[in-house]
Amino acid sequence: MANFQTHLNVGILVSAVTTLGLHTAGLVQAGQALPYFTLGVVGSLLPDIDLRTSRPSNALFSALGAVLAFIMTLPLTDRFLPLELALIWGGVFLCVRYGFFEIFSRLTVHRGIWHSWLAIAAVALAVTNIAYWLWRQSPELAWLAGLMVGIGY
């Protein structure tokens, strides 16, 4: 069974080789290499997000909690005092970090769906859509983003 360090090391190696290959082929500019490399490394850590005690799952739900807390509180800055905003931010963060994490942990089993080709395809396609619709990347670059996450996975 691969542990965190193995997932990370193999992800770094595979992502570096793939990113350098994409750059050499002229598909990725030098300034775009680091983000694509990072997507590949993140993809290599995703198979362990269904393990309750794994570093990737804790990091994922902490980051997701922080991002969603900012998304929820930034539009409210002109309607609430700073202390109230901090309480709202903290409430959203705790709800996601511990509440959603608990639900996710109860609904998933380690080496279940997150260790399948279906999960790789779903995550790669989700990243492709995020890159295209939210990050406003061209279709080619969005597909490369999804490809890097899939290869890293």
Q: How far, in Å, CA of 34 to CA of 22, rounded?
A: 12
- What per-residue confidence (pLDDT) applies to 1? 53
Q: How far, in Å, CA of 15 to CA of 17, rounded?
A: 6
- What per-residue confidence (pLDDT) applies to 50? 84
Structure-token pair, residue 116: 């399948």
- Count of other CB atoms within 10 angstroms of residue 93: 21
pLDDT tens readout for residues 82-116: 999 999 999 999 999 999 999 999 988 888 888 89
Where do we find the tokens 């030098």?
30
pLDDT tens readout for residues 31-69: 999 999 999 999 998 988 888 888 888 998 999 999 999
Answer whether 0.75 is exceeded by the pTM: yes
Q: How far, in Å, CA of 84 to CA of 89, rounded?
A: 9
Average pLDDT value for the chain: 93
